[in-house]
Chain A
Amino acid sequence: MSDVPSDAPVLQVSELVKHFAVTRGLIRRKVIGLVRAVEDVSFEIARGETLALVGESGCGKSTTGRLILRLMEPTAGSVRFKGKEIADLDKDALRRMRRHMQIIFQDPYASLNPRMTVGEILAEPLRVHEIGDDTSRAARGRELLDIVGLLPEHAQRYPHQFSGGQRQRIGIARALAANPDLIVCDEPVSALDVSIQAQIVNLLQNLQQRFGLSYLFIAHDLAVVKHISDRVAVMYLGKLVEIADKKSLYDRPLHPYTQALLAAIPKPDPALRTKRVMLQGDVPSPFKPPTGCRFHTRCPHAQARCSAEEPSLREAAPGHRVACHFFETLPVPIILARAGLAKGKFTERLAAFEAAKTARMPG
């Protein structure tokens, strides 16, 4: 794969589609409809870049992650990893390819085999990909534990002996074992407490710098996403509604759904407490998505055209694409009042906290 120039995207996803058949009947199974979980999703990820895929439950973000790793077969569309089409690979070639693309799951409790020691868990991907012998794999295991901030003696322990944050570190170490290029992070911090979440987010950022990793970061928390990503793609009911670099998306979100998502996040600052415009209603069923723009049933700006005609993903600025008929003429929302924080002593307190911590670091 060295014939691919280094500035080529690591991952190119185009027009990816996944439909799940809904069946009825036990003996004669009849397909009564389709759940359109992923519809016509396209994006790419550059080397060393983090693309975040965000949206609410059931928007298809996790399914997209699984289609990329071909843990599920796509209904249509193409996924090219380092220039090579994944759908064309046979079983053996796919397994060889997977060495370079790994996944970290949300639930650090369920994603580690409870009957294996941490050492065995970390050696397994190397064994599967026939890398090294027992001695070198054990050494690699100890090295990985060090990389993710655990101790060499942890290799002899079992997953239940670790806290949630430590288990997520083990999951990350396992993903790193075979030196991947791309890691799909599927809600890697949403099951963790905030102070632990911060440790894992910082770790993921360190590892990216150190090993030049690309991340597809799947999450529902737009605050975490803002912290970790370079670009952000927003999904709603199986479709991309907006994709942009982080700064454009947070400073000037153009799709009404993105605007609503950002407005809905509770800001940890009581000085910013305001009456906000809220989205009404629930996400419609993906079994019967609304006609036209899928968001029109909840959109505060919807017009007649929105229920009749599906908007295409159009370019609003270089690298900023939006699926809305009317984004040019929508009012600019006030999402972030950047007041509040400057006053108060929190900033200096935090600086003192960090300084005291650094002063105590061994070495």
Chain B
Amino acid sequence: MDNLLEVRGLKTHFATDRGLFRAVDGISFSVPKGRTIGLVGESGCGKSVTSLSVMGLVPSPPGKVEAEAVLFGNRDILKLSADERRRLRGGKMSMIFQEPMTSLNPVHTIGQQIIEAILAHTAMSPRAARARAIEMLELVRIPSAAQRIDDFPHHMSGGMRQRVMIAMALSCEPALLIADEPTTALDVTIQAQILDLLSDLQRRLGMAILIITHDLGVIAEVADQVLVMYAGRIVESADVNDLFADPQHPYTIGLLGSIPRIDVDRKRLATIEGTVPSPNNQPAGCRFAPRCPFADQRCRLDPPPLRDIAPGHRVACWKAPVEVAS
């Protein structure tokens, strides 16, 4: 399969007063053309920093992004100049964020903001750009788009603002859309609308989506493949069906067990004891070992590599694959 984005050995570290903060610590993954990859993990696992690193939005200093390579359409984007990077961003690669309230400029109409993005990346005339903006607003199902284009962000509800963000992000027909918690701030009926819109747009426009979320329900709904992150590393990566039917890493198992579900009656929720280790003081071995009920001496001393246990299923755990071990 053709990989649109290939990340190899990405490390994003931040220099802080309290030492080096290893937010992302050596991760590799790829995003095939036209597919949806889900990146899931809890607060502080490094999932958002991963997306910002790929977009080139990590402030430096204090941040430092290093990798063997970050290939986007066969070009190593870490080697591009700041100017080339900027042209890429919002053009072939664009991003939507969690907070549709703060990612729009309150003093400009939504039309001005979408048109600005189009003019920055294409050779369109302002008149054509406005027509394009209206077309984009219609595409994201904003009713009476030709009138709403002159509204200010505060005239719109949260769900509508997220639609505007999506319209803006897609206005230059990106090959890759990074969506960082795109529905977390929205009510559940609005979340369903936005997820449905994203899958529909993907079918029609053929872009790849990297969706970052803490919600395994959202992952199950939209992702083709899933990466589970814990403390700056990928601990498991699999096809979405395999991940839910045959989870291998103890962290994935605990995480799936701790979600309350409406389709399953459970007396008690599973819990993962303890809390996530601090990024400037990581355990020497497997980073999940202090919270893992299966951990032994080897786990505490020696970090397990991410390795294939079945076609397309990779796990960073000494005990995997579970079937062989037991």
Contact = CB atoms under 8 A, between A and B. Distances in A.
B195 A266 contact: yes
B220 interface: yes
Contacts of A56: 187-189
Nearest to A273: B221
A357 interface: yes
Interface string A257-295: 000111111111111110010111011000000000000
Contacts of A264: 188-189, 191-192
B125 interface: no
B60 interface: no
A250 B260 CA distance: 14
Interface in B24-78: 42-43
Contacts of A1: none
Given A336-B262, A345-B245, A195 B293 contact: no
B247 A267 contact: no
Contacts of A218: none
Contact size range, A: 35 or more
Nearest to B258: A198
Interface in A101-126: none
B40 to A, nearest CB: 10
B244 A198 contact: no
Interface stretch (A65-73, A130-138, A219-227, A318-326): A219-227
Interface string A191-205: 001111111011001
B189 A267 contact: no
A195 B245 contact: no
B220 A346 contact: no
B245 A223 contact: no
A227 B263 contact: no
A268 B256 contact: yes
Interface in B291-326: 293-294, 322
Contact of B217 (A205, A266, A336, A354): A266
Contacts of A265: 188, 217, 262
Contacts of B104: none
Interface residues of B, number: 53
Given A268-B256, A271-B241, A282 B157 contact: yes
A353 B157 contact: no
A32 interface: no
B241 A353 contact: no
Interface string B251-269: 0011111111111101011
Contacts of B258: 194-195, 197-198
A192 B250 CA distance: 20
B73 to A, nearest CB: 29
A344 interface: yes
Given A199-B271, A260-B189, A267 B217 contact: yes
Contact of A195 (B220, B246, B254): B254
A77 interface: no
Contact of A282 (B190, B196, B223): B190
Contacts of A270: 220-221, 223, 240-241, 244
Contacts of B189: 56, 260-261, 264, 278-279
Interface string A325-355: 0000000000011100101111001101110
Contacts of B293: 353, 356-357, 359-360
A163 interface: yes
A57 interface: yes
A353 B250 contact: yes
Given A223-B259, A265-B188, A201 B269 contact: yes
Contacts of A266: 191-192, 195, 215, 217-218, 220-221
B255 A278 contact: no
B245 A344 contact: yes
A48 interface: no
B294 A336 contact: no
A311 interface: no
A276 B192 contact: yes
A349 B261 contact: no
B263 A338 contact: yes
A337 B67 CA distance: 44
Given A227-B266, A356-B294, A357-B273, A268 B217 contact: yes
Interface of A: 56-57, 163-165, 193-199, 201-202, 205, 220-224, 226-227, 250, 260-273, 276, 278-280, 282-283, 336-338, 341, 343-346, 349-350, 352-354, 356-357, 359-360
Interface of B: 42-43, 157, 159-160, 187-193, 195-196, 214-221, 223, 240-241, 244-247, 250, 253-264, 266, 268-273, 275, 293-294, 322
28 contacts: A56-B189, A195-B254, A198-B260, A198-B271, A205-B268, A221-B188, A226-B262, A227-B266, A250-B262, A262-B262, A263-B192, A264-B189, A267-B261, A268-B219, A268-B244, A268-B256, A268-B261, A271-B244, A272-B263, A273-B220, A278-B192, A279-B192, A341-B263, A341-B264, A346-B246, A346-B253, A353-B254, A354-B257
Given A264-B191, A357-B293, 6 more contacts: A197-B258, A268-B261, A279-B192, A282-B160, A341-B263, A346-B247
8 closest Cβ pairs, A-B complex: A344-B245, A266-B217, A356-B293, A198-B258, A198-B269, A56-B187, A264-B192, A227-B260
